[in-house]
Amino acid sequence: MKRKENLSKLTTERPNPASANLDLKSSLQIARIINSEDAKVASAVKRALPQIARAIDVIANSLKQGGRLIYVGTGTSGRMGALDSAECPPTFQTDPRMVQYVIAGGLKALGEAVEADEDSREFGAKEIAKKKPGKHDVIVGIAASGRTPFTIAAVEYARRHGAKTVAVICNSGSVLGRAAEIAIVVEVGAEVVSGSTRMKAGTAQKMVLNMLTTGAMTRLGYVFGNLMVNVKLKNSKLAERGVTILQRATKASRQQAEQTLRSAGNSVPTAMVMLQSEVTRATAEELLKKTHGHVRNAILAAKKL
């Protein structure tokens, strides 16, 4: 028989006095209580900013060397990793292989609970082993409790094989935090519904993962100013966004932005370099290649020609 774990020591599992007798409250009162508790999440994330910044630097450096960012988690934590992974290609025009995820239970777990798998260290090590983590990769283990066997085993395996490792957790002093090189601890406290870590803990995880990928991609030059310059123009909304980005960044007229974008093969980064530096498409593409897609560095290089 498996040893029973004492979860009562975890802050995310404790009863929350603020939501006592929640079932007796009106809908507005319930909403106010949840909103009040959610307001505490940003402050909890703020306390972890130094560790988040360290992780951003590690991720950016690894991706620059051709490595990958791979999220690992179970349940809500795994789905948060999958969501952030899926959002990177449309936002930053990255190769889908650059940011990946591993979730206990596989694709099925994205739409329904597959909770038994999270207790298996064997499955965790086996699933991350399929990714063949190495010295240029960063593995981010996500677990509100910090004690999920699947995730711990995956992080330990990746670290043994030379990968950089990060933990995103909501309880201090956890096994997962000790297993990783960088522990991002976001102590959000007790949940409105005791133990339901899809709530504040899930919100905290989403905020942290947003910072990790947005921070890393910005350091890599996939953001110009605060503009999503690497956006891929796959539909009419995104095509309009591309024109708007060019206008805002270069002060070009709408007609000029549209014409340059067509000349650039609908590549916003290429059009940006062309407009800012008055170079040809071929030159812009070559400079972007030399700077590994770093738009601002490509523009600076163009001005030195």
Domain membership of residue 230 (yes or no) is no
Q: What is the CATH number of the domain that holds 258?
A: 1.10.8.1080
pLDDT in tens, 30-51: 999 999 999 999 999 999 999 9
For position 3, what pLDDT does the model report?
A: 47
Across the range 149-171, mean pLDDT stands at 97
**In the listed set 169, 187, 219, which residue is the last one of a domain according to the structure?**
219
Residues 110 and 242 in one domain: no
What total number of domains does the chain contain?
Answer: 2
CB atoms within 10 A of CB 20: 10
Closest CA to 119 of 139, 145, 101, 100: 145
Are 83 and 26 members of one domain?
A: yes
Same domain, 94 and 199: yes
Q: pLDDT tens for residues 220-262? A: 999 999 999 998 888 889 889 999 999 999 999 999 999 999 9
φ/ψ (deg, to 5) at 70: -125, 120
Given pLDDT bands bounded at 50, 70 and 90, which one contains residue 2? very low
Give me the domain span that covers residue 282.
236-303
Residue 228 belongs to some domain of the structure = no
Full strand arrangement of the beta sheet holding 69-73: 99-103, 69-73, 138-143, 164-169, 182-185
d(C-alpha 154, C-alpha 122), whole Å: 9
Three-state secondary structure call for residue 224: strand
Asked if the structure places residue 227 within a domain, the reply is: no
Separation of alpha carbons 59 and 213, rounded Å: 8
Same domain, 152 and 80: yes
- The answer to whether residue 1 sits within a structural domain is no
Same structural domain for residues 29 and 149? Answer: yes
CATH number at residue 83: 3.40.50.10490
**Model pTM?**
0.91
- Is 118 an annotated catalytic residue? yes
User: What mean pLDDT is reported for the chain?
Assistant: 93
The active-site residue, picked from 118, 127, 191, 285, is: 118
As a whole number, mean pLDDT of residues 271-278 equals: 94
Alpha helices, DSSP H only, in 130-235?
149-160, 175-179, 200-219
Q: Is pLDDT at 116 greater than 60 in this prediction?
A: yes
Q: Which of 5, 13, 37, 87 is catalytic?
A: 87
| Cα–Cα distance for residue pair 282/273, rounded to 1 Å | 11
Q: What is the reported pLDDT for 46?
A: 98
**Rounded Cα distance, 7 and 22, in Å:** 22
Where helices occur in 130-180 by DSSP H, the ranges are 149-160, 175-179
Residues 49 and 187 in one domain: yes
Tell me, yes or no, whether 231 lies in a domain.
Answer: no
Q: What's the Cα-to-Cα distance from 263 to each of 102, 236, 274, rounded to whole Å?
A: 40, 18, 9
Does 225 map to a domain?
A: no
